[in-house]
Structure 1
């Protein structure tokens, strides 16, 4: 009885190790960790370094807002006139009032979720974040009686952001503010640092022009081949007048003077300023970036290209199944030799003193010899339709 049980166990392990003649990689399932243990190991996070910290203001009068909202909803539901207009599709809604109501209720939370999605807080403050309770409006003038707003991640081209924008927010004249405009992805020398494109401190109320300009406005210049860059406006509320002890940066200053780290800068002044407003956009390369490097920075424009690795080609098999014969063999041949064969075939029918024959009007309507192999028929059809490598020569 013991021998039978022992033999059954050995057979079970062998069937787990060998399936349909192919040996299973790794340990047998009875010796491996469970999927839960493996996921817990991969998703492990140190709570000390991953706990999020709210560095902004608390929600103002949340209970009063909730009660006001409930009373407003009850009032709307009891209004029979509104119900009748909605049923007859004649109810008109003021979108400006809707946006104002959204910003006073769930708008700041939505903006925080979008900023988290784009990694704005992570690359600005690390584990810190804030909820933008104050609406920050930024508009670029397009010079055709229209403006382009900065929303939450919309795309703005460098040619559309050449000049200093108009910034607006609600404030009285008794408060001081700081406005910072940085690029999270554009530093040419250090990956973990930013460029400050605009920094204005001690702004009385919402009069940006009366503030202390520490860094003059610099247009976006995302490099070619680096994709989309994130440009972020952050508005800070000051407790009192602040002296940041930073050198003044003008439009003609070198880029090294604009190197900036928001986390370190905020850490040094966190007792004096608190973030409350946020707006950001994405920007990618256009032709004006080249002119900026040549005419303003007086240097060559750096261009980046992605170096794709060579494609993986698995070792040859004795009997490849369900693979076209010619395409399979071409994987292991020199591409130059293949292009040479196509070129010689093309030049074979070319005559410099004769007009080339017109292409077939209906290539698929011309039959191929029945004795021709299937892979060669497909090859000829591709040549007639000019598919594949034949276009490379």
Structure 2
């Protein structure tokens, strides 16, 4: 009998998981999943939907890429060069930045661009599980007048006013090849969050002469909405296997009609004849020109996303408010427009359009106020002299 009671008691303790005379909630550790099992469950991803597919060109052998042995020998040679070390230590070593950029583009540049695009979620929102390595460099510049231009790199910020006109696009190409250039906004659709707007689409470009291509969608400037942060605008260059005629309605006016676009569906339809090879993108946020673009060009009200704060609470009026300035207490229950009107009339009372304004008081607090003036009015006058409070709103 004692043996049965001991076994029953042991099982009860294990089920209740009593530790230090306290019953711990949940199952005992012997019945729970391990931390590894729990982490594997949280990080589980279906391979059918998460396996990434390279939709670009295969990597090509670059004669400038050094093998591991050649890199080791090259580093030994540099470290043993005493003259090079002396110039670097004395800040006398000069580098050709243009040549360094060319070497970077021919070696690790495409991989770095791909990593940056992955960081910004460009491939996920364009192609879903697809991605590509941009082996062809795109030189894109916005002309901002005054003999200066603004380049498009990988995620730099360009304001809508600076991108109001279509950019200059250049790349290295054989004149006998055909290309397609597409510019889409990944975050700017006004009604459907899972779709894009095509801002520019030029097809059948001979070589690198973009101006001679067939324009399906005319250039549309970026218009990020106020309160929505930064929007991504992506240029993708596709190489064509033949002359293409896309089944897309032509858009020749700067409107939003016919510009709804889904890159993944469009590419899936023509993937046998086009292959992405070039990539560049920038970010843009709201400025004042977006408002005029909606009003003057799109002929519609500008959507604004801002938080509407509730008006401050004003308690009911009292018959005799204690320890509160008379004027400030009464202003709580007056129309703010009427208060601003009084300040404006007071300011214009002493203004003369034919005379220069009077210089401000050098020592405002040293100027005496009338002896019989109430305390609340003295505080009011001091604030006006020091330009504190509401007087600055006029």
TM class by smaller structure: 0.7 to 0.9
> RMSD of aligned C-alpha atoms?
3.3
- Partner of 1:228 in structure 2? 230
- Partner of 1:129 in structure 2? 131
> 1:161 aligned to 159, 163, 170, which one?
163
Structure 2: distance between partners of 1:66 and 1:247? 48
Structure 2: distance between partners of 1:62 and 1:344? 88
Answering whether residue 117 of structure 2 is matched by residue 97 of structure 1, we say: no
- Written as runs of structure 1 = structure 2, the 5 A alignment for 1:92-241 is 92-241=94-243
The question of whether the paired residues in 2 share the 8 Å contact of 1:229 and 1:282 is answered with yes
Q: Deviations over 1:141-171 (max 9, x none)?
A: 2223222111111111111111111112112
Q: Deviations over 1:91-136 (max 9, x none)?
A: 1111111111111111111111111111100111111100011111
The farther-off stretch of 188-197 and 68-77 is: 68-77
Unaligned runs of 5+ in 2: 328-372, 380-394
- Partner of 1:60 in structure 2? 60
- Partner of 1:268 in structure 2? 269
Structure 2: distance between partners of 1:8 and 1:28? 13
- Partner of 1:289 in structure 2? 290
Task: Tell me how far 1:351 sits from its aligned partner.
Answer: 3.2
Q: Deviations over 1:229-273 (max 9, x none)?
A: 110000111222222132221134x41301111111111211211
SS at match of 1:217: coil
TM-score by length of 1: 0.74
Counterparts in 2 of 1:279 and 1:25: CA distance versus 1, 3 Å: farther
- Written as runs of structure 1 = structure 2, the 5 A alignment for 1:208-357 is 208-252=210-254, 254-305=255-306, 340=315, 348-352=323-327, 354-356=374-376
The question of whether the paired residues in 2 share the 8 Å contact of 1:16 and 1:29 is answered with no
The question of whether the paired residues in 1 share the 8 Å contact of 2:202 and 2:210 is answered with yes
Structure 1: distance between partners of 2:274 and 2:100? 31
Larger radius of gyration: 2
Counterparts in 2 of 1:96 and 1:34: CA distance versus 1, 3 Å: same
TM-score by length of 2: 0.74
The question of whether the paired residues in 1 share the 8 Å contact of 2:14 and 2:28 is answered with no
> Number of residues paired by the alignment?
329
Structure 2: distance between partners of 1:346 and 1:168? 73
Structure 2: distance between partners of 1:304 and 1:168? 37
Counterparts in 2 of 1:348 and 1:81: CA distance versus 1, 3 Å: closer
Task: Tell me how far 1:31 sits from its aligned partner.
Answer: 3.1
Task: Tell me how far 1:176 sits from its aligned partner.
Answer: 1.6
The question of whether the paired residues in 2 share the 8 Å contact of 1:224 and 1:285 is answered with yes
Q: Deviations over 1:46-102 (max 9, x none)?
A: 111111111111222146633597486677567654344234331111111111111
Task: Tell me how far 1:138 sits from its aligned partner.
Answer: 1.2
SS at match of 2:235: strand
The question of whether the paired residues in 2 share the 8 Å contact of 1:109 and 1:131 is answered with yes
Structure 2: distance between partners of 1:230 and 1:286? 15
- Partner of 1:45 in structure 2? 45
- Partner of 1:85 in structure 2? 87
The question of whether the paired residues in 2 share the 8 Å contact of 1:18 and 1:24 is answered with no
The question of whether the paired residues in 2 share the 8 Å contact of 1:201 and 1:213 is answered with yes
SS at match of 2:65: helix
Q: Deviations over 1:175-227 (max 9, x none)?
A: 22111000011111222111000011111121111111111100001112222
SS at match of 1:65: coil
Structure 1: distance between partners of 2:318 and 2:243? 75
Counterparts in 2 of 1:78 and 1:201: CA distance versus 1, 3 Å: farther
Task: Tell me how far 1:350 sits from its aligned partner.
Answer: 1.8
The farther-off stretch of 185-194 and 69-78 is: 69-78
